Amino acid sequence: MPYVEGADGIELYLKEWGDPDGPPVVLIHGWPLNADSWDDQALALANAGHRVIAYDRRGFGRSEQTWEGYDYDTLADDLASVIEATEAESPALVGFSMGGGEVARFLSRHGGNVRKVALISSVVPYLLKTSDNPDGADESVFDGIEAGILEDRPKFFAGFIKSFYGVGLVSHPVSDEVLDWTLSLAMQAGLKGTLDCVDSFGKTDFRPDLAAFTMPTLIIHGTADKTVPIDPSGRAAARAIPGAKLIEYDGAPHGLLATHKDRVSADLVAFLAL
């Protein structure tokens, strides 16, 4: 089943690994990537007996590049369509970065029997700086991202990806080949969806959605994340979600799925096995 029908009839590319009768886990990728960014964790979860489902968000990877539908209500409806089409009963949901927003909006919009939730380097609960969210980022940050993409998208992403993985003059936690591969994933996305999603993940307030987190919740976040700083995201979510378990990766950047892939895989396998 390489494609399923999304919320408004669009085509969403789907990957399924592991035991078809195992407990289902749905992986929602970050911006500006696609489902392939989950491969290391998907393999570990499949080897642990899970049925692993990952899909490309609309506009990204191999999914249909629509003109509209990049708001979180529609994206959450796409997630609901994936769960329904795959008959994933009582799934666990794991969202990375922007994908954490889909998890939050799905829970409040669709409810359902979700077994467990994990948020990794997630944008939840709110990134935008406002009077009641003083730790957030200025709106100019997101405007600057859009301007950089419009001016020279490959150049912008080449620089963005280095920060994403914490690459600097001294630190180089991933290979040059990983940087090149990540850039190739980013460039598979359509320009319209790439731009629209900046507004979506940067300016959507998920605080009203947090009441829907009634299941066991794991939060993983790097303390040196410059893409989604931990204070307005991981730590704020952990304070707001009753019983949530926060694991801070000391000195780690945003792109944990690559820089700390074995640790993330082990933490997910342990959490989902409880």
Convert 164-188 into a string of H (helix), E (strand) and C (coil).
HCCCCCCCCCCCHHHHHHHHHHHHH
Q: Which of 209, 225, 233, 260 is catalytic?
A: 225
Token duo for residue 211: 């009441």
State the Cα torsion 261-262-268-270 to the nearest 10°: -170
Task: Provide the residue type at 38 as one letter.
Answer: W
| Cα 16 from chain centre | 18
Adjacent-strand bridge partners of 219: 119, 246
Other Cβ atoms closer than 10 A to 21? 8
- Is 172 considered catalytic here? no
Q: Which of 29, 50, 221, 254 is catalytic?
A: 254
Q: Which of 37, 81, 97, 122 is catalytic?
A: 97
- Is 254 considered catalytic here? yes
Other Cβ atoms closer than 10 A to 223? 15
Other Cβ atoms closer than 10 A to 40? 14
- Is 250 considered catalytic here? no
Which one, of 162, 14, 160, 171, lies nearest residue 84 by Cα? Answer: 14
Catalytic residues: 97, 225, 254
